[in-house]
Chain A
Amino acid sequence: MADITITGVSKKFGDIVALNDLNLHVDDGEFFVILGHPGAGKTTTLRTIVGLEQPDAGVIQIGGQDMSGVMPGERNVGIVFQNLALYPDKTVYDNLAFPLRQKGREVSKQEIDQRVRGAAETLRISALLDRKPGKLSGGERQRVAIGRVMTRAPEVYLLDEPLSALDALLRMEMRSELKRLQHELKRTLIYVTHDQVEAMSMADRICVLVQGAVEQVGTPSEIYDQPRTIDVARAVGSPPMNLLPLTVDRSQGLCLRSTTVLFNGSADQNLSAITDGDLVHLGVRPEDVVIGGDAASCPFTARVMAVEPLGSETIIDLDVQGVIIKGSVLPTAQFAPDESVRWGVRTDRIHLFGADGVSLYTAAGQAHMTAAAP
């Protein structure tokens, strides 16, 4: 059993708060992704788990055991650093064998050989064992770094942005390969990234980290469909979720206005917390923006600012009173810049966020709001 529990962990570097009362539980055998901007505290989290940093406060437990006072080498945790930190002067074989040749790990030569070759086999780097890291491609180096962790067979794998140095095509390949590998190994794996595509596509669960604290933990679809805050909403999805600032008008039920846009909410909604004059953000994902439909689905008009064909879809930038709303349309749709178009949103897919950025309302398949022109 190697579940990980992080309780109330804080870490400061001088004046900079890296981790601020972090609480997290990672299940045994889970592919757990920590997603966040640079500086959100992702790497520090990994470093505290492996024991290279000491938390100023809080407790880290691995498999139910308190880790304070346990040396990194004795935690049964392997880490792949962002810069990989392969030993450049040693061959691939010696890199993989290095952890097994340590004092206190009396592993026989034969056993070392077996484990190194086994790991190399799994990672398809058997042919490279005699080379030095400098002579390898980015993808190969990546595998060696993972292999160095694998030979030790730790209970927990930690990976810090392992794919960031690879080019797009290779990254796509490595993504599915890593996921497959984790399925095979059945080990707890914590993966840190700032790339939402990696997080969404690989994770069993995602943790969105903002300023050293957990913003939300959930499955990819929970994070995508039911973001708890604006930060989470914008952390996943490309292009990111559109956010339209609106003012609350409760004089007739519940209305959300900007100068021309208006949403009507039915009275049964439990939105008593917001009051007249409040500023809220309406969140809608690009694929839930409808452009060029009939008057019912598209009650508003806007000017097209830019058209970005991406092949499988085309992104249309609309100028909505100075706010850019991005909509995703089929590549077959024809729109031109400066054209005036009708647009609307799928009201069964919208989100409302209060002034503090916390979600007030997620449609989640239930239509409660209707869009209407004034």
Chain B
Amino acid sequence: MAVVEQTKDDQDVAPLSLDPQAAAGRRLGKMMVAPGQLLLLLLVLFPVIMEVYLSLTTWSPSGGTDWYLAYQDWTWFSNYWEGITSRRFLETILRTGVITVAAVSLEFVLGFCLAVLYAERFPLKRVFTVFMLVPMMVVPAVSGFVFFLLLQSDGPVNSILSLLWPGGDVSIPWLIDPTWALISVILVDVWQWTPLMFLILLSGILAVPEDQMNAAGILGASWRFRLQTLVIPMMKPIILIALIIRSMEAFKLFDAAWLLTQGGPGEASTTISVLLYRQAFLSSQWSYVAALAIIVMVAISVIASRAIRPLEAGQESR
């Protein structure tokens, strides 16, 4: 576990001096991070060790033994092997990847267009900005519920499409057809999180120094030209931050998906989180789930250790 390994970090290279001022500072620093480190220890380190332990057994609560006696059912890495050779698990990872990529790229394109729109002046812009943010304030479980209502075969979305469509009666099987169900899950995520993309990208556009925009303007550059040569290149770090944060969250998708489709029909819209939940609580395969969770966490740790860097850069650049 990356989290565990990195805890012993000795970047604190301050020379050992007998001076009370420096020592007091160091001591205070240590004391101040102590509660946080304790929290990490208790609520991450311990559960993770426990999860590793369980994943090496075939223990299940339905077996009647307490979890700490799980060593009686020791199996070494068979759960892991089962996981990485399981077509279902690999398909779910792939599916989650597809959902993440599709949703985040759609959110990015829409969010960017909206940000460009909102970078210019028009009446009531401030009020509109506030309203634009409402979807992301909707509790994710609620948005799952609301879209469940909207996307019924005879629900309002199909009704609206029927009104707009010249042919008349549109009846898309949003939640029933496997492909459409996947699209529906993506749709909810896009609806809910495009405002976040929009907001981050807008602040990126507005952060391009006015003087630089003016300098280009005086040199005769059109708005389009400035967008291409100044705004987008300068926004690169922010774009990266937005994509990373959104991908991180999209990969964890559970609430909305659970309330919308419960991963169905079949497993057509099952994300990793949904799969783990189902396996644990509907199939009681605890040790197997533990192994899958470890695999996912290791994978994410590897990706995350690279992905966090732009966020840190954002913190540093002031």
Contact = CB atoms under 8 A, between A and B. Distances in A.
- Are the chains A and B members of one assembly? yes
Interface of A: 51-52, 54, 56, 68-69, 71-72
Given A54-B17, A68-B19, A71-B21, 13 more contacts: A51-B21, A52-B21, A54-B19, A54-B21, A54-B22, A56-B15, A68-B18, A69-B18, A69-B19, A69-B20, A71-B20, A71-B24, A72-B21
A176 to B, nearest CB: 36
Contacts of A71: 20-21, 24
Contacts of B19: 54, 68-69
B23 to A, nearest CB: 10
16 contacts: A51-B21, A52-B21, A54-B17, A54-B19, A54-B21, A54-B22, A56-B15, A68-B18, A68-B19, A69-B18, A69-B19, A69-B20, A71-B20, A71-B21, A71-B24, A72-B21
Interface in B175-205: none
Interface in B4-38: 15, 17-22, 24
10 A-B pairs with least C-beta separation: A54-B19, A54-B17, A54-B22, A71-B21, A51-B21, A71-B20, A69-B20, A69-B19, A72-B21, A68-B19
A374 B251 CA distance: 85
Interface in B54-113: none
B15 to A, nearest CB: 7
B17 to A, nearest CB: 5
Interface centre among B19, B22, B24 (most CB of A within 10 A): B19
Interface residues of B, number: 8
A333 to B, nearest CB: 41
Interface centre among A51, A52, A54 (most CB of B within 10 A): A54
A71 B22 CA distance: 9
A72 B24 CA distance: 12
Contacts of A72: 21
A262 to B, nearest CB: 51
A68 B22 CA distance: 11
A56 B17 CA distance: 9
A52 B20 CA distance: 11
Nearest to B18: A69
A105 B71 CA distance: 63
A52 B24 CA distance: 12
A69 B19 CA distance: 5
Nearest to B13: A14
Contacts of B17: 54
Contacts of B24: 71
A226 to B, nearest CB: 39
Nearest to A68: B19
Nearest to B14: A54
A66 B223 CA distance: 65
Contacts of B21: 51-52, 54, 71-72
A172 B20 CA distance: 41
Contacts of A52: 21
A69 B18 CA distance: 7
A51 B22 CA distance: 9
A68 B17 CA distance: 10
B215 to A, nearest CB: 26
A71 B24 CA distance: 10
A56 B22 CA distance: 12
Nearest to B24: A71
Contacts of B20: 69, 71
A72 B18 CA distance: 15
A52 B21 CA distance: 8
Contacts of B18: 68-69
Contacts of A68: 18-19
A51 B15 CA distance: 16
Nearest to A51: B21
Contacts of A56: 15
A72 to B, nearest CB: 6
Contacts of B22: 54
A323 B20 CA distance: 54
Interface in B220-253: none
B134 to A, nearest CB: 33
A321 B19 CA distance: 57
A188 to B, nearest CB: 21
A347 B22 CA distance: 55
A69 B21 CA distance: 7
A292 B175 CA distance: 97
A75 to B, nearest CB: 10
B53 to A, nearest CB: 43
Interface centre among B18, B20, B21 (most CB of A within 10 A): B21
A243 B295 CA distance: 72
